[in-house]
Amino acid sequence: MPVEWAGSGPGLLVTIDRGGGAGLRTQLEEQLRAAIRGGRLAGNEPLPSSRELARALGLSRGLVQDCYAQLQAEGYLTSRPGSATRIAPGVVVRPDAQAPSAIADKRPRYPVADFRHGVPDLGLAPRAEWAWAVQQTLRAAPNAAFDYGEPVGARALREVLASYLGRVRAAAATADDLIVCAGMQQALGLVVGALAAAGFTRIGFEDPGSGANVADLTAAAGIGAVPVAVDEGGLDVAALARSGADAVFVTPAHQWPTGVVLTGPRRLELIAWARATGAIIVEDDYDAEFRYDRDPVGSLQGLAPDCVVSLGTVSKSLAPALRLGWIVTPPRLHAALARGKWRADRGSPGLDQLALAALLESGRYDRHLRRVRAEYAARRETLLAALERHAPHLPVTGLAAGFHAVLHLPPGTGEAAFIAAAASRGVGLYGMASLYMGEVHPQPRLILGFGNTSRAAIESGIAAIADIRGSSGPRRSRCTDGRR
């Protein structure tokens, strides 16, 4: 039987086959050499002592010492008196062996400014507050909190969340209506799976919007998806009724990506459609935390808890890395969603849930939101001022909430060509055309994200692309969200 040892190196596995043809020392040398070349053992990483390794593998200590000496002579290891034998720094790793550790962000880098959307300022993550919440949790949590916990989420968090959502989003929910999940992607995947299990056959989605993601999830669940047009009032409910959909995914508070708000009459029309047909409305409460010069818009779920599933996360308000979100579900889908969550992962990390509950309950979460909201509002003003100076002829919309704006390019402008020209100047721009799934040919528009773009970068980025043309004479810029 081969003897195996899982050593101190990451992912290191040494196997000694006493029935094989190769000598024991040869096997040990070759496997350590391969682990170093393959990148599994990094430079300066310590190896076990010759005594430890010999005991673990059932070898003589002299054999292990000889192996270490040989690899040291070849330049793979270093050693000095009183210190562990270590992997030599600077060993060249084979390119083909780097694949597992070379999964990196391959997005282009833009040295002047990157107006990437959908990302908060990661530097504003409340590290001190989160550390406080984790410490509070570890001090106060009973031993039972270290068990697997409820798949639907820690009751303490669900109770605090239900109270919070009722207070700030006018949601109509109790702890029993909530399921804690790992962010928006898992939430939407669980909902699509539950709808498929309940016999729903076709989900409508906003166009433009997150259609590609919805279509991918519905295809995996074996049901259909259909785009539904969005206009200045939000989702076109009449078009939805004609589509044959029996469920719909919407972003009513701040439509992604146009930034329009689903109007009051449209909300009532959408709810009436759902109740008349037995449909389900899936609400992504997108950007609801970040509003500026408009009155708060309550959750759609609060108007119709019987037919609306509401999804939310702390990915933008705190940080995407926390992977914490929630589903507020009507009773008819709760059991299916709970089963789906149990099958997926048996529940989100319990201690993180309790830390979030502490953050919410203490008021620190609200104070953090006020701070970051003020910063995003300042960046919004910087963006508007820069556009007023450098591109006064281009209208801007979608700025009432969130941290992206929509810049309307002149008719006939090639969106892709404009983006490419900006990239050549070190500015990352993103168009809206790729977010359409239907047959509509949209007017050229850019989505200017300012969440993770500093004020200085906003100013320099807009200045750098100001003379990229494709339009007729200047007109005064206008923001159609109710302000100049």
Boundaries of every domain in the chain:
3-101, 126-364
179's tokens:
């399921």
| Confidence at residue 310, expressed as pLDDT on a 0 to 100 scale | 97
Asked if domains 3-101 and 126-364 share a fold, the reply is no
User: Residues 412-440: what's their mean pLDDT?
Assistant: 91
| Confidence at residue 289, expressed as pLDDT on a 0 to 100 scale | 77
Instruction: Tell me the per-residue pLDDT of 349-370, one tens digit each, with 9 for 90 and over.
Output: 999 999 999 999 999 999 999 9
d(CA 341, CA 329): 13
CB 154 within 8 A of CB 361: no
d(CA 89, CA 92): 9
User: Residues 173-184: what's their mean pLDDT?
Assistant: 96
CA proximity to 29, closest of 71, 90, 59: 71
CATH number (3.40.50.300, 1.10.1040.10, 2.40.50.220, 1.10.10.10) of 3-101 reads 1.10.10.10
d(CA 170, CA 285): 12
- Maximum Cα interatomic distance, the chain, rounded to a whole number of Å: 85
CA proximity to 310, closest of 280, 290, 336: 280
Average pLDDT score over the chain: 87
At 437, the amino acid letter reads M
| Confidence at residue 229, expressed as pLDDT on a 0 to 100 scale | 94
Phi, psi of 228 (to 5 degrees): -130, 130
Which residue has 């539950």 as its token pair? 194
* 104 class by beta-carbon count within 10 Å (0-12 exposed, 13-18 middle, 19+ buried): exposed
Instruction: Tell me the per-residue pLDDT of 304-341, one tens digit each, with 9 for 90 and over.
Output: 999 999 999 999 999 999 999 999 999 999 999 999 99
Q: Select the more confidently predicted residue: 2 or 392.
A: 392
Q: With 60 as the cut, is the pLDDT of residue 451 above it? A: yes
CATH topology for the 126-364 domain: Aspartate Aminotransferase; domain 2 (3.40.640)
| Confidence at residue 461, expressed as pLDDT on a 0 to 100 scale | 96
Q: Categorize the per-residue pLDDT at 34 as very low, low, confident or very high, splitting at 50, 70 and 90.
A: confident
Q: With 60 as the cut, is the pLDDT of residue 442 above it? A: yes
Which residue has 């049901």 as its token pair? 223
| Confidence at residue 9, expressed as pLDDT on a 0 to 100 scale | 38
